Every structure is written in structure tokens, then in C-alpha cells.
Chain A
Amino acid sequence: MARVILRRVFIAVPVLFLVTGLAFVLVSLVPGNAANAILGQLATPEQSKELTRLLGLDDPAYVQYWNWLKTLAHGSLGQSVIDGDEVTDILNSRLPVTLTLVIATTLVSGLIGVAMGFYSALRGRSGRIADVVTYAAIALPSFWIGLTMVALFAVQWRLLPANGYVTFGVSPSDWAQSLVMPVAALSIGAMTGIAVQTRDSTKDVLARDFVRVQLANGFSRRSIAWKHVLRNAGSAILTVIGIHFVGMLSGAVLIETVFALPGMGQEVVTATSNHDLPVIQGAVLYFTVLVLIVNLLVDIAYAWLDPRVRVR
């Protein structure tokens, strides 16, 4: 078990350096542009030069990167070039919204997706029609589903708020209502993806020798399905849930924009439009750490599910 965790941490370090370094390399590919971007088209060359020097943008990329790492060591990610706020403050205030959205979506799509896929595999053949329906659900862009839901449930029938976010502390019921549509819109694609993977890996496990041996030796059908098959299909299902979690972080960027949720995704979009590099850089770091944590959790779950990983 310790090996599993160590291995992940071992990979996490290069990933973090790679991602943050990559962002710096990208920036250095277009020298001077960052300052221009901040000042806009009308800036004079002198203004631009001055800001470039002030921001330390005329330093070589590795010096900039080193400086950034040094500030990071002090727990700071720098300040937004737009309003001078600490990047950590901006992101920390927005992280809970994104986490709530993504975790709720993972739970909803995971539970329903696994149930659907498992049931479909145990029922045996799934027809072509089911395939088409599945693909239809996967193929609808989540932001479009979100907008359609707004048109129906908020505008047409006035059942739910069209957008906005209420914190749990203020009103739990409003909080729940403000999450229903974002979570649903983000869930549909992930749910179907998880269902398809669950169905396929359950089918694979069902075809394995040990299932036939258990059946032939009179194990109860319920136990074969729920205790033995589901657990053996578990690793593949978890992998796909982990991948979908990463996908949902991307989807959250769009969904937060559609539903005006004050999350990290929305912040990234704003920062991108404003060319606010410190904020983007910070968000990249936050998202990468989230992905790494999820990968670690998936690995720990693997080890729990599969003794071949855990016991040697």
C-alpha cells in the first residue's frame, strides 16, 4: 500500500514541475506580449517596456520560473495583474464551489452510471438502440444541455433558479436548488460514459473462468454478481470514474459560465479574457493538484479492490 502511495507522489513531483514549467515556457515563447495584453492595443512602446520590466517579464523564462517557485515556497502565487489581489485568495474563495459541483456530479453520475451499466450487463444483450441512445447522451455538449434545461425548467416552467449560487450556510435548500441543473447537465455525459465502461468490464468479468466455476459449484447467483463480478470489474470502473472526474473539471469551466457559478472555472475564463497570467498559472496549479489527488485516491481504491496490487 505504501508503495502505491509513494509511487504516485513520485510521479506527482515531475508532473507539477512540468505543468507549471510548461506554462512559463509558453509565456516566454511570445516575449513582451503579456505586457501588451495587459495594457491593450493603445499602449505606447515605453509603457509596455516599463510594465514588462516591472513584472519581471524581461528576465529569461527560467529566472521567472525560479522567482515564481520562490514565491510559491512562501505560500503565495503572486497577485492578479488586473486588480492586485492575492491569487491564492481569489482561488481559495472559488475552490469550494467547483469542488461542490464536481464532487456532487461524480457521486450522481458514478452511482447512476454504475447501476445502469451493471444492470445492463447482467441482463445480457444490449441492443443497437441502446447503443444509439447512449451515444446520443454522450454526444450532447454539457453546456448545451445546461442551456436547454434553463430554457425548460427556469424560463418555461419556473421550477428552478436560472443561474447563480447560494452557499450552504445561507440557505441549504436554495443551495441545493442552485446545484440541481448544473450537476444534472454535467452528469449526463459522464453518467453514460461510466455506464458503458461498467457494462463492458462487467461483461468481460462475466466471461471469466472463475464465474463459470462458481456457477458450476453452486455459488448463489446474487453473490456471484454482487460480491465477485462487481468487485473484479471495480478497477476498470474506478479508472473511468477518475478520468471523468478530470473531464468534469474541464466541463465545470463551461457549466460555471452557463449557470454563473462563482467557481474556479469561471475565474479561469475571466482571467483568460483578461490575460491575467498569474491567476491562470495559479489555477493550472490548483487543477493539477486536484487531478493528482484524484489519481492517488483511485490508486488507493485499486489496492483495496485488488489484492494483487496490495499483497505481494
Chain B
Amino acid sequence: MSELVRLTDVTKVYQGGITGALNGVSVTVEQGEFTAIMGPSGSGKSTMLNLVAGVDRPTSGTVVVGGTDLGKLGETGLARFRRDHIGFVFQFFYLLPNLTALENVLIPAQLKGNSPNGRARELMKRLGITEVANRYPARLSGGQQQRVAIARALINQPTLLLADEPTGALDTRSGEQVMELLGELHRDGQTVLLVTHDAKLATRHATRVISVMDGTIVDDAHLESPERAAAEVIRVRGEEASR
């Protein structure tokens, strides 16, 4: 595995006491990892993701993604970096309402001057949204909208897939389907960085859980995934001996 992301002593200060500040964060992420960043709201976990995505700049410190120091890029360079390397999935989907599902999926590719209809349809088929390709977002369920957003995030074959509370606006069942998708993508080699406050979701596919609290990393746990017998994980205990 090779290093894909490196944050070095990153600080982010927001004017006016907005929460989400970071205070001297250093961390690296390897290619092919599924990493969860966990913490309560306002802890700075989304800020970390935004800095990696190049949608926000640190107050101090450096952010290097795929060998590129984002601090050295101007606005145009950053926009190109995001387009070429980052797929971003948000809690509230952010689909354009006046475009169909298929057209939404194609936006990032069109920004590059491509129109890979075949790939878009292939992705939509894989995500189970082929039948809604020509519908507008308002006519899609939340789960379908999020799958459209995931297809859009993947259309340019991003180096890094970032997901910020991607199940936060979904019912349990749709949320689980979205998590299964992220797990599948990871098994196919996609590097995934997931921000969540939900430890159940964080540990579903992630083998690494970074805990953020008040702008600092308080724990960085690498979890094991051995085949364990049920009895090693759960023990249902009864009262001993019926009288």
C-alpha cells in the first residue's frame, strides 16, 4: 500500500466561533484503505474531509493528496484537482433539481469535456438506479437520490471517495444499502474516507477508525477482521439450572 493522503500539523481556525476547528492534526491515509472518521458534531471531522477534498484550506499546516500539496494550488488548480481526484458524497445529496438522474451523474465528466454515457449507465446499473435514469431528483426516493450522488461521485474514477454522513438523511434500510455499496466499492479497490458519528456504521466496513474530539485526533484504531466463531463475539447467558 502506498500513502495517498498526508495531513501535517493542520490547523483550521474559523472566525466568529464557528465550530469544527482543527488544532494540529497530523495523519496519513493509505491507498485502498476504508477509513472512518468519527466524532460528535462540531468536533472537526467534516473539516478534515473538506480539507482533503480541497474545498477548504487550512489556516496552517499542509495537506498532500496523491503527492500534490494542495496549498500550492491556486483556485483553478484546486478545482481541477477536485474534479480529477475527488468523489464527494454528502448527507443531503445536492443533486441539481432541473437535471435528470443521468444528467446529474454526467456533470463531473462534462466539466472535463467528456460525456461517458456508457460508463454512466454502467454505474447506474451497478447501483440499481437504471430505471430512474430519466427522472428528476424530486421524483426519486432519498435512497435513490443518494445512489445517483454516488454514481456522480464515481463517474471520473476518483482517486479518493469521500463521504460525509452519507446515510444521515436516509431511513435505516436505504442507509444500509448505501453502506453496502461503499463496502463493495472498497472491495474493488476504492479508497474510501467516511465521516460519521455512528460507530455501528463506522465499523461496518472500515478497518480503521479515527476518533476526533474538539479538533484533535484522540484515537486512531486499526481494527482486525478475523473469522470469529459466534461464541467468541456473543455469549447469550441464561440463569443457571432450572429449579
- Chain B associates with chain A: no
B interface with A by C-beta (< 8 Å): none
